[in-house]
């Protein structure tokens, strides 16, 4: 083969690569030119027959051809493989897929709103653990040693001193033990009681506790006014609020606070057991015995406390007829809470 023929073969091989589109055809070209019995290796073997004077030019051209051919083949193979990959069919006429949008759970929402309202009244948010000591949950709160609320049928006990808190009032104890007066806190959180589950009761529910203790006079009238303010902010101007005398070991005097039922607007329904009212909170003036337990001087301080059921508020605010909806996390329910 002359040098000129060699150059023609070189050009022909590159043209063949350029013309091939499929990987099978490119494979065949690789075998034809580079394979064990291929053209280029064959010519390398024939180098010894080339007249010595022509050999350098011949060898140079052969090397250039091989390099050019390999490069062209590699590039074309990559392109052919990419073209062979299935492209995702994209149907522009299909309706879009909507992602389900999350909502803030009504319990969290009430906690956030309530904390916000009390924040405007000067309360800061305090926190306490779910697992409490008997002292913080009961004894410091002036609960008599044999009070029925301490019974194992009402309270989840770990041992004689540790329990799952039955009320966020345990945070009152913690706050006063850790801080001198004045204190003005709210504490939202989980509570646990051995209740049977029904439309209005759960063994695990939420309360928000409030405590205001100061060295200057604080009265029951102050307590009533902030709870009435809270009711209007939370429920709207139309809500009715009533205070009934009650008893709690840690407040004296004590009241229970009812809001008008939002499901029936006070007419009477299943949710309010036909009374038109829903019990929302317990409250009262902090009992002097509590001050003694936490090291405050009962003669130097005045204060009130309250504790409200978060679920109760959520139920009347959003017209939820059964407390169990709040725990099932059924998206059909939650998506209505937008
Ligand atoms: N902790 C009481 C309850 O769970 C409510 C309460 C709080 C009452 C604070 C008075 C003062 O029923």
Q: Give the pTM.
A: 0.72
Q: What is the pLDDT of residue 287?
A: 98
Residue 263 has pLDDT above 80, yes or no: no
Average pLDDT over residues 117-140: 97
Q: Is the CB of 172 under 6 A from ligand 1?
A: no
CB 259 within 8 A of CB 295: no
Lowest-pLDDT choice from 44-53, 130-139, 154-163, 226-235? 44-53
Q: What is the pLDDT of residue 111?
A: 98
Q: Give the chain's mean pLDDT.
A: 92
Q: Is the CB of 305 under 6 A from ligand 1?
A: yes
Q: Is the dihedral of CA 36, 41, 43, 44 positive or negative?
A: negative
Q: What is the pLDDT of residue 51?
A: 87
Percent share of the chain, pLDDT over 90: 64
CB 187 within 8 A of CB 127: yes
CA distance 7 to 149: 103
Q: Is the CB of 284 under 6 A from ligand 1?
A: yes
Q: Is the CB of 189 under 6 A from ligand 1?
A: no
What is the second-level CATH architecture of the domain 106-337? 2-Layer Sandwich (3.30)
128 falls in which pLDDT band (50, 70, 90)?
very high
Q: What is the DSSP letter of 335?
A: G
Average pLDDT over residues 239-260: 95
CA of 281 to the centre of ligand 1 (A): 7
Lowest-pLDDT choice from 15-19, 87-91, 187-191, 329-333? 87-91
Q: Is the CB of 248 under 6 A from ligand 1?
A: yes
User: How many Cβ atoms sit within 10 Å of the Cβ of residue 16?
Assistant: 18
CA distance 108 to 282: 21
Domain boundaries, the chain: 3-84, 106-337
For residue range 9-18, what is the model confidence (pLDDT) as tens digits? 999 999 999 9
For residue range 198-214, what is the model confidence (pLDDT) as tens digits? 888 899 999 999 999 99
H or E element in which residue 158 lies: strand 157-159
Q: How many secondary structure helices (H) and strands (E) does the chain include?
A: 12, 10
């Amino acid at each position: 083969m002359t040098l000129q023929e060699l150059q023609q073969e070189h050009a022909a091989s590159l043209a063949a690569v350029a013309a091939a589109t499929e990987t099978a055809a490119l494979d065949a070209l690789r075998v034809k030119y580079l394979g064990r019995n291929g053209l280029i290796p064959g010519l390398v073997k024939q180098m010894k027959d080339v007249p010595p004077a022509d050999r350098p030019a011949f060898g140079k051209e052969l090397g250039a051809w091989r390099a050019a051919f390999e490069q062209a083949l590699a590039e074309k193979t990559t392109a052919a493989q990419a073209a062979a990959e299935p492209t995702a069919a994209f149907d522009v006429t299909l309706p879009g897929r909507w992602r389900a949008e999350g909502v803030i759970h009504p319990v969290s929402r009430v906690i956030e709103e309530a904390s916000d309202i009390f924040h405007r009244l000067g309360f800061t948010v305090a926190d306490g653990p779910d697992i409490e000591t008997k002292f913080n949950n009961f004894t410091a709160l002036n609960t008599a040693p044999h009070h029925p609320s301490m019974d194992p049928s009402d309270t989840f006990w770990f041992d004689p001193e540790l329990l799952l808190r039955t009320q966020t009032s345990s945070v009152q104890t913690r706050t006063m033990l850790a801080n001198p007066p004045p204190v003005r806190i709210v504490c939202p959180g989980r509570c646990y009681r051995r209740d049977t589950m029904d439309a209005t009761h759960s063994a695990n529910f939420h309360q928000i506790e409030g405590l205001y203790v100061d060295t200057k006079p604080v009265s029951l009238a102050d307590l009533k006014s902030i709870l009435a303010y809270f009711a209007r902010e939370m429920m709207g101007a139309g809500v009715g609020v009533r205070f009934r005398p009650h008893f709690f070991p840690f407040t004296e005097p004590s009241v229970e606070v009812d809001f008008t039922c939002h499901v029936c607007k006070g007419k009477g329904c299943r949710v309010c057991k036909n009374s038109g009212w829903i019990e929302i909170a317990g409250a009262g003036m902090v009992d002097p015995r509590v001050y003694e337990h936490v090291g405050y001087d009962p003669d130097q301080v005045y204060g009130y406390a309250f504790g409200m059921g978060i679920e109760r508020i959520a139920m009347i605010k959003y017209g939820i007829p059964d407390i169990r909806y709040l725990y099932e996390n059924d998206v059909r329910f939650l998506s209505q809470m937008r």
